[in-house]
Structure formats: structure tokens, C-alpha cells
Amino acid sequence: MNKKPVIIDTDPGLDDAMALLMALASNHMDIRGITTTAGNGLVEQHSKNAMSILEYVGATIPVYSGANQPILQARSGAAKIQGKSALGGINLPKAKKLKVAKPTAVEFMAKELVGSDKKFRLIALGPLTNLAILLASAPEVKGHIEEIILMGGAAVGGNRTPVAEFNIWQDPEAAHIVFASGIPIIMCGLDVTRKALLKKDDLERIDSVGGKAGRLFSEILKELAIGQKDGVVVHDAVAMARALKPDLFTGASHHVAIDLGGTHTRGCTVTDLGKMMGKEANAEVIFDLDYKGFVDLLVESCEVLNKKMGGNKDE
């Protein structure tokens, strides 16, 4: 099987954790490394979370720590939503075998990308600080990146401000560098992630899978459901689903600019839906998904991981 070489840049995070589990379940990804960045919390905690997830599953993918703060502005995490550990009330065992790898996330990516004869897919689930530093410090990597699939932004609306999504708002300068890079970008923002609203029947279906993987999926979803009335949104899992099964999604090519200076609009992904800017499209903006197919993928990921982990439904 000809697997795509992949680097996952992330800030785990509850929905990031689910996205990582989906990637680990896949037989179509050659995950060369996981790089962490500040976002939901501090980068040190995110690296610990990533290693805990990997060790829980039995994977030995190296984890590299990256930026601990945005390029210019102060970091503002999501502790009120995801807790100090960024994993809410989930008590994953601390990793005992895995240690943070050397060198830094950016140094690893630069060496790995340039040294490969295959083009990589980068999957970015947090603020884009690591990727921006990589592109600014080692522009030669551009020719080695097939595409960047990211969870972030929105053509309409926001979740950190009325017009800005959290990951982009956290480091708008980094997002500007990435979107202006000329690398093909697939933007899985709030336009599509809010449509992947898991309902009671879907949550019960996932919970019924059981096993070590199914139980962890269910714990994550229960944490994300706290305070939610209409359903559970799993933002980063949607972006990972786009990487795993692109046929489930529909979008359109648009020019996306990052607002850096607006008093009320900083961090907005200004999406030229009406083609008014006169600029070429720089991103495929995802707007819709096959909801049933997405839920099926979540269930399938649980089942496959259970088999890989030697688990069963009745554990």
C-alpha cells in the first residue's frame, strides 16, 4: 500500500485527541511525526497529551515540541473549556516509554521534508505558529509539501470573536504567512465543523462500540458535551476526516485573507465569496459534508483501533 507521508501539527485538546485517534486507526497514512504547538494550553502539556494518547494506543510515533506562544501576541488558551490539562476530566495514564524527541518541531519538519523524495501532507489542528516559522525559516520546504489541511477559520462567523475562529485568532500573523505561501490549502473551518453536530443517537452508537478505543472516544465526547444542548461538535475530527476521506466533503476555491489590524476583526479569515478582491484563490474552503459518512468513519475508527490494540467490545 502506497501510504501518504504525513506530519500532524496539533495542540491536544479533546477534539485534537479524537483526530489523532482517527489518524492512528487509518491504514492509509505514514505518520512521520507529531509536532505540538501552544493553543488550547501550553506546548509542554500538549506534548504530554500526545504521548499519552500514542502510548494508550500502542503507537511509537515521535513527538516534537514546537512554539509555546504566538509570533506576536500573547497566548490566550482555552482552559475554561478544556481544563488545565486541555483534556478536560479525562485521566489518560502518563506516557512512561515515550519522551519528547529532539530536535524542535520546526527543525524536524525542515529536515524531514527536504530529505524526502515524496511530497508530504501537513495536517494542522491548532494555531499555525509552527508552520509559519517553518515557512519563514526554511522556504525551500514549500516544494516538498503537497497540501496543508487545517482546522481553522470560517467564511462566515467565528467562535472566539464574532468573526474570528480560535485557531486563527490565536496567531493571525502565522495564519497570514501560511495562507500567503502559495501551498495548496484546504480550510476546514466553522462553516463545515458546525454541521458535524453529533446527536444523541450518534453518541450512543459510538459508545456501543466499547473496547479501549471506543471507551476513550466516548469519554472525549462526554467531556465535549458538557454544557452543550444541541449536540457535540468535534472540530478537529472533521479536518482529520477530510484528510482520510475527502469524498465525504464539498467545498469551493476562494481567496482567503487574514485580517491583522482590525479593531473588531483581527484574526478573521476574510473569504472572497463574491470574487471582489481580484485575487487568485489560495484555498479550498470546505462548506459541507456527508454527515452519515462522517459518523460511520468515527465508528469505523473505533473498531479498527480496538483490533489494533487487541481489545474487544466486552472488555
**Residues facing 232 on adjacent strands:** 198
Distance CA 112, CA 255 (A): 29
Q: How far apart are CA 120 and CA 31, in angstroms?
A: 10
Distance CA 8, CA 18 (A): 13
Q: Among 149, 78, 141, which residue's Cα sits nearest to residue 110? A: 141
Q: Is 187 helix (H, G, I), strand (E, B) or coil?
A: strand
For 282, the 3-state DSSP assignment is coil
Residue closest to 207 by CA, chosen among 170, 242, 232: 232
Active site residue ranges: 235
What contacts 24+ positions apart, CB below 8 Å, involve 115-120? 116/5, 116/144, 118/5, 119/5, 119/144, 119/145, 119/146, 120/4, 120/5, 120/6, 120/7, 120/32, 120/144, 120/145, 120/146
HSE, CB side, 13 Å, CA atoms: give it for residue 241.
Answer: 31
Alpha-carbon 296 to chain mean position: 19
**Is residue 254 within 8 Å of 155, Cβ to Cβ?**
yes
